């Protein structure tokens, strides 16, 4: 069981081009070469100071969809075909690029990790079948659902046909299953994309009905890979989850409905953080049963691989929400204290004021020279 937590800072949007960038990717310690593993952000209470958070990897504004896929997701496909489950999460405030990272845009270059993953799965399926000279058959099926207010809704069902109470979940030999969830075979990438697009229309239809409901539900795509050789079958699942926005809804709206929503979002994100942390610390007990989402995903039950992408916006209007995202993921990341070097006092003339102090494992507080 392993987990990687990576941060991705999105570029400025057209309307933000005149705004300050306050969130930056940096390399650890005093290194200026190598790939960034640090996210640096000013302390909102004292902008002369910056907080640094360390992750397995950090992608800056220039990172492409291809790079994210090649570095983070492509290496997991091999494990999937070896029978391990792969789970990808996009976590972050609404507007930070979760859907862009997962689903992406229409052009080839803009495609997100989901269509790229499916493409890699089909490629490997063909190769496996060829290498085994037809002895092994690979079948791919998908299900796609959302969890809203702790209820499960099938995204293959149009919103009008849904039962408001959602689909029941049940224990089935130690595994939690959603009863009545549609599972669609999809044999080609084209077929997958048709089904996926159609289901996403159902998601956005309910979004218009329920006022940006999509930012307050978790969308969970499960792709099952079944490899059969004679009477033996090997089943593994790749799950990709576009999580509900992590913003504190209570700050903007005190309506009762919103409070119910934010309570269930907070609970499931909190349990998710605890599960990811327990996995990264290789703890025996993973509290996955404590929320519906982690329970259905059996998070941490198998020898799976989990990757969490923390999506961040670089601009000041997200400052406090970005910090709370970073704090959330900081608890969940693998803590490698030694990789964060404290900068010595008065290191160079130009950094006369530079100093840093470790205030939590992996988290350093730096004093930057005051700007004139």
Specify the pairing of strand 57-59 against strand 2-9: parallel
Binding footprint of ligand ADP on the chain (CB under 6 A): 10-11, 13, 92, 94-100, 215, 311
94 annotated as ligand-binding: yes
Measured from the Cβ of residue 263, the count of other Cβ atoms closer than 10 Å reads 14
Which residue's CB is nearer to ligand ADP, number 36 or number 97?
97
Q: Please, where are the H alpha helices in 83-239? A: 98-102, 113-131, 189-209
Q: Among Mg ion, ligand ADP, none, what binds residue 206 when CB lies within 5 to 8 Å by partner kind?
A: none
Which residue's CB is nearer to Mg ion, number 286 or number 293?
293
Minimum CB–partner distance for residue 337 and ligand ADP (Å):
31
CA distances from 21 to 9, 68, 369 (A): 10, 21, 18
Minimum CB–partner distance for residue 296 and ligand ADP (Å):
21
Minimum CB–partner distance for residue 318 and ligand ADP (Å):
11
187 annotated as ligand-binding: no
Question: How far apart are the C-alpha atoms of 137 and 325, rounded to whole Å?
Answer: 42
29 annotated as ligand-binding: no
Which residue's CB is nearer to Mg ion, number 75 or number 105?
105
Q: Please, where are the H alpha helices in the chain? A: 65-68, 74-81, 98-102, 113-131, 189-209, 256-280, 292-296, 319-332
104 annotated as ligand-binding: no
Measured from the Cβ of residue 248, the count of other Cβ atoms closer than 10 Å reads 14
Binding footprint of Mg ion on the chain (CB under 5 A): 98-99
Which residue's CB is nearer to ligand ADP, number 96 or number 298?
96
Minimum CB–partner distance for residue 243 and ligand ADP (Å):
9
Residue facing ligand ADP at closest CB distance: 97
Surface-to-core class of residue 173, CB atoms within 10 Å of its CB (0-12 exposed, 13-18 middle, 19+ buried): exposed
Minimum CB–partner distance for residue 42 and Mg ion (Å):
26
Binding residues: 92-99
Binding residues for ATP: 92-99
């Amino acid at each position: 069981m392993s987990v990687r937590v990576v941060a991705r800072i999105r570029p400025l949007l057209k309307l933000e081009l005149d705004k300050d960038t306050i969130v930056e990717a940096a390399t650890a310690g005093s290194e200026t070469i190598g790939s960034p593993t640090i996210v640096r952000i000013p302390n909102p209470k004292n902008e002369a100071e910056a907080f640094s958070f360390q992750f397995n990897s950090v992608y800056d504004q220039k990172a492409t969809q291809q790079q994210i896929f090649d570095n983070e997701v492509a290496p997991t496909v091999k494990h999937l075909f070896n029978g391990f489950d792969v789970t990808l999460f996009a976590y972050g405030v609404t507007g930070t690029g979760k859907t862009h990272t997962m689903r992406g845009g229409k052009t080839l270059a803009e495609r997100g990790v989901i269509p790229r993953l499916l493409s890699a799965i089909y490629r490997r399926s063909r190769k496996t079948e060829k290498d085994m000279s037809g002895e092994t058959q690979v079948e791919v099926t998908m299900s796609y659902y959302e969890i809203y207010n702790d209820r499960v809704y099938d995204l293959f069902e149009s919103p009008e046909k849904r039962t408001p109470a959602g689909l029941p979940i049940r224990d089935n030999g130690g595994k939690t299953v959603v009863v009545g969830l549609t599972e669609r075979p999809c044999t080609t990438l084209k077929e997958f994309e048709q089904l996926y697009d159609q289901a996403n229309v159902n998601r956005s239809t309910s979004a218009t009905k329920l006022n940006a409901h999509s930012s307050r539900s978790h969308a969970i795509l499960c792709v099952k890979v079944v490899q059969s050789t004679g009477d033996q079958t090997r089943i593994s699942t790749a799950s990709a989850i576009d999580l509900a926005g992590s913003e504190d809804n209570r700050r903007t709206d005190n309506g009762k409905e919103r409070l119910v929503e934010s309570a269930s979002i907070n609970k499931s994100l909190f349990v998710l953080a605890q599960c990811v942390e327990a996995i990264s610390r290789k703890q025996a007990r993973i509290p996955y049963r404590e929320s519906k989402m982690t329970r259905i995903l059996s998070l941490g039950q198998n020898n799976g691989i989990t990757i969490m992408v923390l999506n961040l916006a670089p601009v000041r209007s997200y400052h406090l929400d970005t910090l709370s995202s970073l704090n959330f993921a900081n608890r969940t990341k693998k803590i490698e204290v030694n990789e964060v070097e404290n900068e010595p006092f008065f290191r160079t003339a130009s950094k006369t004021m530079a100093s840093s102090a470790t205030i939590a494992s992996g988290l350093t507080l730096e004093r930057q020279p005051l700007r004139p």
